[in-house]
Amino acid sequence: MKKTQTMKNLTLLLLLLLLLTCHLSPVLSWKKDEFRNCNQTPFCKRARARNPGSTSLTAQDAAISDGELTAKLVLKRIEQQETTPDQIKPLLLTLSAYQDGILRLRIDELDPPRKRFEVPDVVLPEFEGKKLWLQRLSTETIDGDAAPSSVVFLSDGYEAVLRHDPFEVYVREKRGNRVISVNSNGLFDFEQLREKGEGEDWEERFRGHTDKRPYGPQSISFDVSFYGADHVYGIPERASSFALKPTRGPGVEESEPYRLFNLDVFEYIHDSPFGLYGSIPFMISHGKARGTSGFFWLNAAEMQIDVLGNGWDAEAGIALPSSQSRIDTFWMSEAGIVDAFFFVGPGPKDVARQYASVTGTPAMPQLFAVAYHQCRWNYRDEEDVEQVDSKFDEHDIPYDVLWLDIEHTDGKRYFTWDRMLFPHPEEMQRKLAAKGRHMVTIVDPHIKRDDSYFLHREATEKGYYVKDANGNDYDGWCWPGSSSYLDMLRPEVRSWWATKFSTENYVGSTPSLYIWNDMNEPSVFNGPEVTMPRDAVHRGDAEHREVHNAYGYYFHMATADGLVQRGDGKDRPFVLSRAVFAGSQRHGAIWTGDNTAEWDHLRVSVPMILTLGLTGISFSGADVGGFFGNPEPELLVRWYQLGAYYPFFRGHAHHDTKRREPWLFGEKNTQRMREAIHTRYMLLPYFYTLFREANTSGVPVARPLWMEFPSEEATFTNDEALMIGSSLLVQGIYTEHAKHTSVYLPGKESWYDVKTGAAYKGGKTHKLDVNEEGIPAFQRAGTIIPRKDRFRRSSTQMVNDPYTLVIALNSSQAAEGELYVDDGKSFEFQQGSYIHRRFVFADGKLTSLNLAPGQTQFSSECVIERIILQGLSTGQKSALIEPANQKAEIEQGPLLLHSRQGPTVLTIRKPNVRIADDWVIKIF
């Protein structure tokens, strides 16, 4: 009897387990097996198996030619037992120096049987103009080498060294410490193109897909060392910690290398070295001792990067200069050439600027794009759109952009409308535009293979599709079913594509419509690893394997160009893309793809955004609320509170989820989300100023703490908090029912809680009480933040509203801040049509200084209606405005207008000085 019971229990248990796994499967449904790991990727496996010191190349014939240092890399003849045929021919190495401490290293085959792919249209054309014409090289014998090394000038403080034997390239401080080096561990390998040998099989198979690999092995790998480095960062995109953890070395668990291969990863997990939708092969090192440096390898093929933990090479017996702390990394790529850039820093912002001088600064967005976006898969019909729009108004919640996902189209044929659901798209857009709002529709790169679809017909006729290995138009599967993919690598395809966005060609569009590029990795549902086969063929016989990571970049570029053309070059484009490559910042915004409504995904959004920012992509954000799943109201509220500080702020949801517009969770939660969104609108002048800063300098809007406090070690691994510009520090709340949190506030100066006005000492960790009303955010003492405190329906109506300046004085009773204003839409700012002020508070005087050069055509009647003074040590009573010689009262006023029981602060009442003017306000 008892045994029967046991049996019963067993059955029950079994069934329960079954149920449980059924239940859990959505949570753990990252399909790991569908993607190749390093061991399943032959080039990666080969490279990773090599030992340090195995490079058998030496540099010879070093000489200056055309202002560059060139040399040949040839195989050492000595003691090489087996010379494989692919290592016979010499390689050509070129070193060139550019302004601002940038060294470029190129290594390619001298005379390859087939041209290896070089990524076009990523390096700015004007970058070539910054090349320094090297005059001479000096030689120097290093560490008792047999052969002397060649040394060339890089910048005032730095020089580049080509060590001949063993072959090594590095940048060092003049006659001093090394900064970055390549091949110091002797891992360099370059698989040269060659004839297929007798009986050789070059094909690769993975899960039923065959890659023909007609050109055989052609991978490149080498080690890069960063000196004086405590941590390395960068190489997005993945959901993992901000400071990159070692992937190999003693004490490191068996780990995959960091993978750079653009993939559409269904339900990605929040802590994995696995690559996601974008790839930027740019790594930044930072250390207390030396500062910051960067290394960028322009290569669009699959890349795998190991961060090597201390002592990884213990057995190799190679002695590198060890006086400096050093981080070794190992870079492997399936194809392409070596085209690498060394950035010397030494500050974090220097590296950002240096990188931006190669790949460009972020485009200046329109003001509306910096505001709040409302998206869902899908707002189903015109009525739904109208409904959601009016609900925002009813609840006095501002928003600027309403988005339509794939279901708005006629059968996923982009540039068309489902006329049942959207019979009057122009009218719908005009209605939104009448409230100053915009619309975004989705346009993906897969084109439905349907002969009645004009795009498909034209693309087929013109031969604009990517070809498969057999030379036919590649036929893959995506939303519309059978689809082909435009060869965006070809400039003529991009120009053709760009014309499709004119209001005449895009029927049903109006000038207030902007674009969203999704699935541009490209995502191919029935392709290997959910993408295009590597042996597909692009223009000039480039293989997809060589182009892959940049495919989405070209698509993004062509779409943005289309919108520029549509507006006659007078309207800044807005295009959101999921796929990313180096330089994507020039084309528009990026979001972190299909995340999940989980606390861990909220948390990981911060390192993801910080990493993107560090690698040039300033305009980024995560889907607020989480794409998959239904967030608890608390999580949703927290996400809005943090998302309000994302550079790109959009709520989005999967179509299986419950509706989650901000008013659907009870008045209390509506109020919290409204306040979060209002906070963003209030800070729009500050954000817009930061976007301009990014646009001119490459310094991102959202920054790691150490970008502002480079010598504070406590900030190096902090990826829970972020700096918005140099003045605001924000930290999310990442746990349920949190009552307390710890926030580290760096620096020597104090920080002012933006809601309570309370001051906190810098340089220490504070344990803070938290409630559901907000997340910790602080203004750094010594800064001035411009705000617009009046609420409107959208940013469009805020244009004429007056400003508030929030001044937080530092210990020497001083503060500084900037304000940038332009028309918010056009490119006229590029001709100097803008207002750019610096506000300086010192010696009891607030001065507005002009930062705009020369005469500006842009003006504004906007005034400053309120100046808030925090940290003023003496009780001044009134203010005198010069040159008008007017008096203004100083009184106690609210820190935030909308908070009922908020704190009061010293306020200069109605100074009403114009932001366009020079003025001084004296306080006494």
Partner 1 sequence: MKHKMSFIATVLCVLCLLSQSILRSAANQFLGIAPEDEKYYKSSEVIKCKDGSKKFSRAQLNDDFCDCSDGTDEPGTSACPGGKFYCRNVGHAPLQLFSSRVNDGICDCCDGSDEYDGKVSCPNTCWEAGKVARDKLKKKIATYQEGVAIRKQEVEQAKVAMAKDEAELSKLQSDQKTLKRLVEQLRERKEQIEKAEERERLQKEKEEQEKKEAEEKAKQENSGGEDQEKTKAEEEAKKEKSEDVEDGSAEDKPIESQHDDNVGNLDDSHSYQDTAEKHDDLGTKDGSIDTPEHIGSLVDGVQQEAVKQKKESVATSEPDFDGGSKVPHDEGDDASENTESLSKEELGRLVASRWTGEDTTKESGEVDVTKDSDHEDHEELPKETHDEQSDGYASETDDDNQKYDDEDHEDEADDDFGVEDHSDSGSSYKYESDTDSDLSDVTTLSNPSWLEKIQNTVRNILHVVNIFQTPVNQSEAASVRKEYDESSAKLSKIESRISSLTQKLKHDFGPDKEFYSFYGRCFESKQNKYVYKVCPYKQASQEEGHSTTRLGSWDKFEDSYKVMIFANGDKCWNGPDRSLKVRLRCGLKNEVADVDEPSRCEYVALLSTPAICLEEKLQELQHKLDLMNKEQPHAHDEL
Catalytic residue positions, numbered:
518, 521, 594
Is 825 an interacting residue with respect to partner 1 (CB under 8 A)?
A: no
User: Which residues, 847 to 866, sit near partner 1 by CB under 8 A?
Assistant: 865-866
Give the number of other Cβ atoms within 10 Å of residue 127's Cβ: 17
Interaction mask 727-766, partner 1, x per CB under 8 A? ----------------------------------------
For the bound state, the minimum distance from the C-beta of residue 786 to partner 1, rounded and expressed in Å, comes to 17
Q: Residue 223 pairs with which residues in a beta bridge?
A: 330
Is 843 an interacting residue with respect to partner 1 (CB under 8 A)?
A: no
List 611, 657, 695, 795, residue binding partner 1 (CB under 8 A) = 657
For the bound state, the minimum distance from the C-beta of residue 174 to partner 1, rounded and expressed in Å, comes to 55
Best CA proximity match to 623, nearest among 633, 609, 610? 609
List 114, 207, 462, 761, residue binding partner 1 (CB under 8 A) = 207
Distance in angstroms (rounded) separating the CA atoms of residues 330 and 348? 22
List 17, 20, 31, 196, residue binding partner 1 (CB under 8 A) = 31
CB 722 within 8 A of CB 606: yes
For the bound state, the minimum distance from the C-beta of residue 81 to partner 1, rounded and expressed in Å, comes to 41
For the bound state, the minimum distance from the C-beta of residue 897 to partner 1, rounded and expressed in Å, comes to 5
Q: Which two tokens stand for residue 259?
A: 């993978």
Is 678 an interacting residue with respect to partner 1 (CB under 8 A)?
A: yes
Give kind and range of the element (H or E) at residue 810. none
Side-chain half-sphere CA neighbours of 216 within 13 A? 15
CB 333 within 8 A of CB 220: yes
Tell me whether residue 207 or residue 877 sits nearer to partner 1 (CB atom): 207
CB 653 within 8 A of CB 660: yes
Is 410 an interacting residue with respect to partner 1 (CB under 8 A)?
A: no
For residue 615, give every residue at least 6 positions away whose Cβ sits within 8 Å of its Cβ, in sequence order, or none.
Answer: 234, 235, 236, 280, 282, 284, 355, 582
Tell me whether residue 231 or residue 866 sits nearer to partner 1 (CB atom): 866
Is 476 an interacting residue with respect to partner 1 (CB under 8 A)?
A: yes
Best CA proximity match to 63, nearest among 139, 157, 156, 142? 139
Rg over CA atoms, the chain: 29
Is 208 an interacting residue with respect to partner 1 (CB under 8 A)?
A: yes
User: Which residues, 416 to 435, sit near partner 1 by CB under 8 A?
Assistant: 420-421, 434-435
The single-letter code of the amino acid at 628 is F
For the bound state, the minimum distance from the C-beta of residue 162 to partner 1, rounded and expressed in Å, comes to 48
Q: Which two tokens stand for residue 793?
A: 């329906």
Tell me whether residue 477 or residue 496 sits nearer to partner 1 (CB atom): 477
Tell me whether residue 266 or residue 924 sits nearer to partner 1 (CB atom): 266
Query: By CB under 8 A, how many residues form the interface with partner 1?
Result: 78
Is 146 an interacting residue with respect to partner 1 (CB under 8 A)?
A: no
List 17, 20, 26, 812, residue binding partner 1 (CB under 8 A) = 26
For the bound state, the minimum distance from the C-beta of residue 679 to partner 1, rounded and expressed in Å, comes to 12
List 477, 496, 827, 858, residue binding partner 1 (CB under 8 A) = 477
Side-chain half-sphere CA neighbours of 630 within 13 A? 8
User: Which residues, 528 to 567, sit near partner 1 by CB under 8 A?
Assistant: 530
Burial group, residue 176, by CB count within 10 angstroms (0-12, 13-18, 19+): exposed
Tell me whether residue 192 or residue 796 sits nearer to partner 1 (CB atom): 796
- Give me the residue label for tokens 């910096």: 370
List 899, 903, 914, 920, residue binding partner 1 (CB under 8 A) = 899
**Helix, strand, or coil (residue 795):** helix
Distance in angstroms (rounded) separating the CA atoms of residues 718 and 722? 8
For the bound state, the minimum distance from the C-beta of residue 107 to partner 1, rounded and expressed in Å, comes to 38
Tell me whether residue 153 or residue 525 sits nearer to partner 1 (CB atom): 525
Tell me whether residue 40 or residue 502 sits nearer to partner 1 (CB atom): 40
For residue 286, give every residue at least 6 positions away whose Cβ sits within 8 Å of its Cβ, in sequence order, or none.
Answer: 229, 230, 231, 232, 233, 292, 348, 706, 710, 716
Tell me whether residue 205 or residue 748 sits nearer to partner 1 (CB atom): 205
List 45, 50, 380, 845, residue binding partner 1 (CB under 8 A) = 380
For the sheet containing 751-753, what is the strand order? Answer: 702-703, 721-724, 728-731, 777-780, 751-753, 759-760
For the bound state, the minimum distance from the C-beta of residue 308 to partner 1, rounded and expressed in Å, comes to 34
Is 774 an interacting residue with respect to partner 1 (CB under 8 A)?
A: no
Range in contact with partner 1 (rule: CB under 8 A) among 135-143, 577-585, 758-766, 791-799: 791-799
Is 27 an interacting residue with respect to partner 1 (CB under 8 A)?
A: no
For the bound state, the minimum distance from the C-beta of residue 905 to partner 1, rounded and expressed in Å, comes to 13
Name the packing angle between helices 633-643 and 666-682 (round to 10°): 10
Burial group, residue 849, by CB count within 10 angstroms (0-12, 13-18, 19+): middle
